[in-house]
Structure 1
Amino acid sequence: MTVSIVGTGQSPYTRHVRAGTDTSRVIARAVQDALFDAGLRPADVDGFAVSSFTMGPDHAIDLAWRMGLRLSWLMQDTNGGASAGGMLQHAVRAIEAGDASVIVLAAGDVMDGAAFAHLVANYNRATKEHLAPLPMRGPNGLFAMLTIRQMEALGLTREDYGHIAIAQRRWAAENPGAVYRGPLTMDDYLNAPLVAEPLGRYDCVPPVTGADAVVLIADPRDGTARARVLSVRSSYNSDQQAGDGLATGLRSCAEAGWEEAGIGPAEVDLACVYDDYPSMVVAQLADLGMIPALEDTSAFIRRRIYTRELPVNTSGGQLSAGQAGAAGGMHGLVEASRQLMGLAGPRQVPARHAVVSGYGMVLYRFGACASMTVLEAAE
């Protein structure tokens, strides 16, 4: 049995949220849009999974009840950037086992100033007890140190990271859902205020309010536009905290993911990787095998990413579209699915295969969770 994504939805991203905006309503709108896109109704849904940092005190079952869903399968994921892959992995297995036939996956948050400040100060025990008391805000300082280490290891410069941010902004210009769509030049990038050296303003993902959703079903036979799930793998590895941070959990699951998919990195036409910082784009592409082991990373960035010869984060990624809390983990899955279904509008690329990766849940130094998904356009 093959499982496919047949619908996607997105609650509009916004940098400045209206007072009183409710997380459940934001997520519900994305779910409604995804079901409409799939030509389905809430009554057709028998499985639901959600990821959110700001839905409390409600839980998945409360949101399902508010949306009028009658379910035989339910899941709530809290693993941030890796949540979409984790939910997808469980949902695929549930459909294969016959536990559900139509599953909606959703993620979203209200990220106003107060919500963001609370999240970065109380992310987990490690953050609350050891990082929050330090004179630094959120993960920027941690990833500034990681970026310096990556620059030294790979011989990268700030211009190399700028090429990534600029390429994604060019993609964002063609995405009406992106929060930042205006031109970004290398001078703009290099002269922007520093946040945590060497990270400048355009290296750090902007928090926004919004939500994303996808609809999964067993592979239809009626010619419905769809993105087939060829493989999905996850890594939850606390040992990453002892390393240098230059390798993500993708390194431990990529080989199995490609083998299950039946294709390799060279056959991928589109990559949507979690991009809270440009250095993490580099790390994930390397761990997925998208950057050949013997190729100079700086040259790869200039030759493949900056020229957009290899489409990377064609929505503009989170760096330009915005990071809607836990929805950041689903942003790439929605974009890859839309591209493979031919629904990406002016930014449409000719793609048959796409890889999507997630990364997140910072413990003491680095993200402890990662996921990869390989998708194929229906013929």
Structure 2
Amino acid sequence: MTVSIIGTGQSPYTRHPSAGTTTSQIIARAVSKALHDAGLQTSDVDGFAVSSFTLAPDHAIDLAWRMGLRLSWLMQDTNGGASAGGMLQHAVRAIQAGDANVIVLAAGDLMDQAAFSRLVASYNKATEDHLAPLPMNGPNALFAMLTSRQMEQLGLCREDYGRIAVAQRQWAMDNPAAVYRESLSMDQYLNAPMVATPLGRYDCVPPVTGADAVVLVADRSKGTPRAKVLSVKASYNSDQQSDDGLATGLQACATNGWEQAGIGPSDIGLACVYDDYPAMVVAQLADLGILSNQDHPADFIEHRIATRLLPVNTSGGQLSAGQAGAAGGMHGLVEAAAQLMGRAGARQVTARHAVVSGYGMVLYRYGACATMSVLEAAQ
């Protein structure tokens, strides 16, 4: 049985949430929009999954109750940027097993400055014990070191990363939901204040408040635009935090993901990869096999990404659209599905297949969770 995404929704991203805004409200808004996009109502939903850092003290069941959902399948994921892929993997299996017929996946967070500061200070025990006392003030310093290592290994320079940031900003200019829509030049990128050398301001994602959601069903009859899920694979603790971080968990699951999908990297017309930093865009494209061993990374960036020959992160990605906490991974899934269903507006591309990656939970040095999903346009 094939499972498809038939609706997407987003609660507007903002850097300045209104007083009184709650995490439950913004997630519920995204769910409502996704159901409307799918032509369904809450009474049609019998499965629900959510990921959020700021939903507490509520849980998935509390949120389902507040939205009036009566369910036969329920899940709460805690794996941050990899949560969307993890929830998608379980939801596909649930529909195939007959545990639910219509499943909504949602992720979102209320990320004002206070909430963000609390999150980075107490992300996990390793952060509390080893990183917060330095003080690290979040992951920027860790990924500055990783970026420096990647620059040396792959022969990249700041201009190469700048081409990724500038290209994604150009996509964001056609995305009314992006928080940063003004143009970004290479000079602006290079001359922006340094955050943690070699990372400048535009190498780092802006934390935002917002939420994203998708609606999954068993494959429907012809005439319904949908994004068929061809494969979902995941990898957890692939290197036990002991490697150099330049290879993600995608390296461990990509081969199986492509085999299950029945296509290869060269068949992809759209890539939505988790972009907490430009270096991670490069790393994930390489691990997925899209940036092959025969490609020179700098040439690939300049001639494939910057020229839009390969559309990458057409929403603007998190670097320009914003990172809404645990919705970071769901953001790419929503964008890929919207593109394949022909609902991306001015930034619409022509693609039959898309790949979406998730990367999350920096336990101590690098992200410990990775997911890849391959989708196909159908109607």
TM-score bracket, shorter-length normalisation: over 0.9
**Following the alignment from structure 1 to structure 2, what is the Cα–Cα distance between the partners of residues 51 and 223?**
32
Instruction: Report what 1:321 is aligned to.
Output: 321
> The residue matched to 1:239 in structure 2 has which SS?
coil
Q: Could you say which residue in structure 2 is the equivalent of 1:202?
A: 202
Deviations 1:133-184 (A, max 9, x none): 1132100000000000000000000000000000000000000000001010
Deviations 1:112-150 (A, max 9, x none): 000000000011111111101113210000000000000
| Contact 1:240 1:366 survives alignment (8 Å) | no
**RMSD across aligned positions (CA):** 0.7
> What amino acid is aligned across from residue 106 of structure 1 in structure 2?
A
CA shift for structure 1 position 240: 4.0
SS at match of 1:8: strand
List per-residue Cα deviations over 1:2-43 (Å, max 9, x = no partner): 000000000000011112210000000000000000000000
Distance in structure 2 (CA, Å) of the matches to 1:234 and 1:68: 31
Aligned to 1:257: 257
Q: Give the aligned partner of residue 134 of structure 2.
A: 134
Alignment partner of 1:224: what SS? coil
Q: Distance in 2 between matches of 1:304 and 1:24?
A: 40
CA distance in 1, matches of 2:239, 2:85: 20
CA contact (8 A) 2:165 2:319 kept: yes
- C-alpha separation between the residues in 2 aligned to 1:17 and 1:24? 13
- Within 1, Cα distance between the matches of 2:89 and 2:185? 39
Partner of 1:218: 218
Runs of 4+ more than 4 Å apart: none
The two structures have a TM-score, normalised by structure 2, of: 0.99
Aligned to 1:49: 49
Q: Secondary structure at the match of 1:354?
A: strand
Please, what TM-score do these two structures have when normalized by structure 1?
0.99
**1:154-303 mapped onto 2 (5 Å cutoff):** 154-237=154-237, 239-303=239-303
Tell whether 2:76 aligns with 1:92.
no
How many residue pairs end up in the alignment?
379
Q: Identify unmatched segments of 5+ residues in structure 1.
A: none
d(CA) in 2 for partners of 1:76, 1:135: 31
Offset, 1:222 = 4.2
Deviation at 1:223, TM superposition (A): 1.2
Aligned AA for 1:113? Q
Instruction: Give CA deviations for 1:163-213 in whole Å, capped at 9, x if unaligned.
Output: 000000000000000000101000000000000000000000000000000
The corresponding residue for 2:35 is 35
Instruction: State the alpha-carbon separation in 2 of the partners of residues 212 and 360 from structure 1.
Output: 17
Q: Which amino acid aligns with 2:80?
A: G
The answer for unaligned runs of 5 or more in structure 2 is none
Shift of 1:295: 1.2
Q: Structure 2 CA distance, aligned partners of 1:369 and 1:20?
A: 33
SS of equivalent residue, structure 2 residue 210: strand
